[in-house]
Amino acid sequence: MVQEIELVQKETIVDCKFLNDIQLNQQENLLQQIKDATILGNSHRTKVTIIFQDDAGIKRVDTTIWASGAKFICLKGGLWIPINRIIEILI
C-alpha cells in the first residue's frame, strides 16, 4: 500500500510533530541534496521540494532552505525540520 503524500504550506510546519522514533528510507545522497538546496536557496532564492515524515505521515513542502546543520535544516521564516525525518529533496 502506497501512502499518500500530503502537500503542506511552509507556515504549517510549525504544527508538525517529530516526537516518535521513525525509521525512514532516506535518499542515499540526501546530505548532498541538502547542501545543493542550501546553496540554491541562499544564492538564487530557489525553492525546492522537501519530502519528509512527521508523526502523522509523509508530507511535501515547496520552499527555500536557508541553512543546514548536523541535525536540522532551517527554512525561510525560522522553521526547522529534523534531517532524520527528511526522505528526499527534489531540486
Phi-psi map region of 83: left, alpha, beta (phi>0 left; psi -120 to 50 alpha): alpha
Q: What is the CATH number of the domain that holds 65?
A: 2.30.30.100
Tell me the whole-structure pTM to 2 decimals.
0.94
Q: Which letter does DSSP use for residue 91 in this model?
A: -
How many domains does the chain fold into? 1
**Separation of alpha carbons 71 and 87, rounded Å:** 14
Please check whether residue 1 lies inside any domain of the structure: no
Half-sphere exposure of 70 (CA within 13 A, CB side): 0
In this predicted model, what pLDDT tens digit does every residue of 13-50 receive, in sequence order?
Answer: 999 999 999 989 999 999 999 999 999 999 999 999 99
